[in-house]
Chain A
Amino acid sequence: MTDPQLIRNFSIVAHIDHGKSTLADRLLELTKTVAHRDMQAQILDDMDLERERGITIKAHAVTCMYTAQDGKTYTLNLIDTPGHVDFTYEVSRSLAACEGAILVVDSTQGVEAQTLANTYLALENGLEVFPVLNKADLPSSDPARVLEQIDTVIGLVDTEHHVNISAKTGLNCEQVLEHIVKYIPAPVGDASAPLQALIFDSYYDPYRGIVNLIRVMNGTVRQGDQIRFMSNLSEYRVDEIGVFDPKMSKRPEMSVGEVGYLVASIKQLADVKVGDTITHAVTHNTKPATEMLKGFKEVQPVVFAGIFPTSSDDFENLRNAMEKLRLNDSSFTYEPETSTALGFGFRCGFLGLLHMEIVQERLEREFDLDLITTAPSVRYHVFLTDGDSVEVDNPSKLPNLQRIARIEEPIIEATILTRTDFVGGLIKLCEERRGIQQKLEYVSSDRVMLVYELPLNEVVMDFYDKLKSLSKGYASFDYHMKHYVESDLVKMDILVNGEAVDALSILVHRAKSVTLGHALCSKMKEVIPQQMFDVAIQAAIGAKIIARTNVKARRKDVTAKCYGGDISRKKKLLNKQKEGKKRMKAIGSVEIPQEAFLAILKVDS
Chain B
Amino acid sequence: MTGAAGPVAIPPILQPHVAALRGAAHREPLGLYLHVPFCKDRCTYCSFVTTRDVQLQSAVVARLVAEIRVWGEALGRPAVDTLYLGGGTPSLLRAEELAALTAALREAFDLGPLVEATLEANPGTVDLAWLEGARALGWDRVSVGTQTLDDELLARLGRIHGAAQALDALELCRRAGFQRRSGDLMVGIPGQDLDRVLGDARTLVGTGLEHLSIYLLDLDKACPLKAEVEAGRLALPSEDEVADVFEALQVELPRLGLLPYEISNYGRPGAESRHNQRYWQLRPYLGLGVSAASQLGTWRWTETSVLPAWLEGRGETELTELDAAESLAEIPLLGLRMHAGVDWEGLRAEGRRRNLQPLVDSWDEQLRVFGAQGLVTFEGPRVRLTDRGRLLSNAVFQIFV
Contact A560 B215 (CB under 8 A): yes
Contact A561 B279 (CB under 8 A): no
Cβ contacts A524-552/B at 8 Å (1 or 0 each): 00000000110000000000000000000
* Interface stretch of the complex, out of B57-65, B163-171, B201-209, B289-297: B289-297
Is A577 an interface position by the 8 A CB rule? yes
Cβ contacts A546-571/B at 8 Å (1 or 0 each): 00000000111111111111011001
B228 to chain A, nearest CB (A): 21
> How far is B218's CA from A574's CA once the two chains are assembled, in angstroms?
14
Partner of A532, one of B280, B291, B300, B392: B392
Q: Given A565-B292, A577-B398, A581-B398, A555–B334 Cβ distance below 8 Å? A: no
Partner of A554, one of B218, B285, B390, B392: B392
A558: which B residues are within 8 A, CB to CB? 216, 246, 263, 390-394
> How far is B375's CA from A505's CA once the two chains are assembled, in angstroms?
33
Is A472 an interface position by the 8 A CB rule? no
A565: which B residues are within 8 A, CB to CB? 287, 291-293, 302
Is B264 an interface position by the 8 A CB rule? yes
A571: which B residues are within 8 A, CB to CB? 333, 401
> How far is B243's CA from A58's CA once the two chains are assembled, in angstroms?
54
Partner of A562, one of B33, B279, B302, B390: B279
> How far is B279's CA from A567's CA once the two chains are assembled, in angstroms?
9
A561: which B residues are within 8 A, CB to CB? 213, 215, 218, 264
Interface residues on A, range: 20 to 34
B112 to chain A, nearest CB (A): 23
B58 to chain A, nearest CB (A): 24
Contact A556 B239 (CB under 8 A): yes
> How far is B293's CA from A567's CA once the two chains are assembled, in angstroms?
9
Cβ contacts A375-387/B at 8 Å (1 or 0 each): 0000000000000
Contact B320 A559 (CB under 8 A): no
Contact B292 A557 (CB under 8 A): no
Is B179 an interface position by the 8 A CB rule? no
> How far is B390's CA from A555's CA once the two chains are assembled, in angstroms?
10
A129 to chain B, nearest CB (A): 55
B330 to chain A, nearest CB (A): 8
Contact B218 A577 (CB under 8 A): no
A589: which B residues are within 8 A, CB to CB? 369
> How far is B215's CA from A103's CA once the two chains are assembled, in angstroms?
68
> How far is B333's CA from A559's CA once the two chains are assembled, in angstroms?
12
B30 to chain A, nearest CB (A): 12
Contact B394 A568 (CB under 8 A): no
A533: which B residues are within 8 A, CB to CB? 373
Is B397 an interface position by the 8 A CB rule? yes
Is A73 an interface position by the 8 A CB rule? no
Contact A557 B287 (CB under 8 A): no
Is A401 an interface position by the 8 A CB rule? no
B213: which A residues are within 8 A, CB to CB? 561
B318: which A residues are within 8 A, CB to CB? 568
Is B2 an interface position by the 8 A CB rule? no
A574: which B residues are within 8 A, CB to CB? 394, 397-398, 400-401
Least CB separation from B31: chain A residue: A564
Partner of B393, one of A559, A564, A578, A581: A559
Contact B373 A559 (CB under 8 A): no
> How far is B392's CA from A554's CA once the two chains are assembled, in angstroms?
8
Contact A560 B300 (CB under 8 A): no
> How far is B242's CA from A557's CA once the two chains are assembled, in angstroms?
11
Is A248 an interface position by the 8 A CB rule? no
B49 to chain A, nearest CB (A): 9
Contact A564 B285 (CB under 8 A): yes
Least CB separation from B301: chain A residue: A568
> How far is B334's CA from A155's CA once the two chains are assembled, in angstroms?
77
Cβ contacts A567-595/B at 8 Å (1 or 0 each): 11001011101100100000001000000
Contact A568 B398 (CB under 8 A): no
Partner of A555, one of B264, B293, B391, B400: B391
Q: Given A561-B215, A565-B292, A567-B293, A555–B337 Cβ distance below 8 Å? A: no
Least CB separation from A581: chain B residue: B398
> How far is B313's CA from A26's CA once the two chains are assembled, in angstroms?
59
> How far is B334's CA from A532's CA once the two chains are assembled, in angstroms?
21
**Which B317-376 residues sit within 8 Å CB-CB of chain A?**
318, 320, 330, 333-334, 337, 369, 373, 375
B264: which A residues are within 8 A, CB to CB? 560-561
**Which B372-401 residues sit within 8 Å CB-CB of chain A?**
373, 375, 390-395, 397-398, 400-401
Least CB separation from A555: chain B residue: B243
Is B15 an interface position by the 8 A CB rule? no
Is B214 an interface position by the 8 A CB rule? yes
Is B220 an interface position by the 8 A CB rule? yes
> How far is B165's CA from A181's CA once the two chains are assembled, in angstroms?
91
Q: Which of A563, A571, A574, A575 has the most CB of B within 10 A?
A: A563
> How far is B237's CA from A556's CA once the two chains are assembled, in angstroms?
12
Contact B401 A557 (CB under 8 A): no
A581: which B residues are within 8 A, CB to CB? 398
B300: which A residues are within 8 A, CB to CB? 567-568
A589 to chain B, nearest CB (A): 8
B203 to chain A, nearest CB (A): 21
Contact A557 B391 (CB under 8 A): yes
A559 to chain B, nearest CB (A): 6
> How far is B401's CA from A297's CA once the two chains are assembled, in angstroms?
55
Contact A532 B375 (CB under 8 A): yes
> How far is B285's CA from A555's CA once the two chains are assembled, in angstroms?
34
A567: which B residues are within 8 A, CB to CB? 279, 293, 300, 330, 334
A604 to chain B, nearest CB (A): 24
Partner of A557, one of B240, B302, B392: B392
A554: which B residues are within 8 A, CB to CB? 239, 392, 395
Could you list 7 further interchain pairs (A-B, Cβ under 8 angstroms) beyond the known A555-B392, A568-B300? A556-B239, A557-B392, A558-B391, A559-B394, A559-B397, A577-B398, A581-B398
Report A's interface with B, CB cutoff 8 A. Answer: 532-533, 554-565, 567-568, 571, 573-575, 577-578, 581, 589
Question: Which are the 5 A-B pairs with shortest beta-carbon distances?
Answer: A555-B243, A560-B216, A565-B293, A560-B264, A557-B394
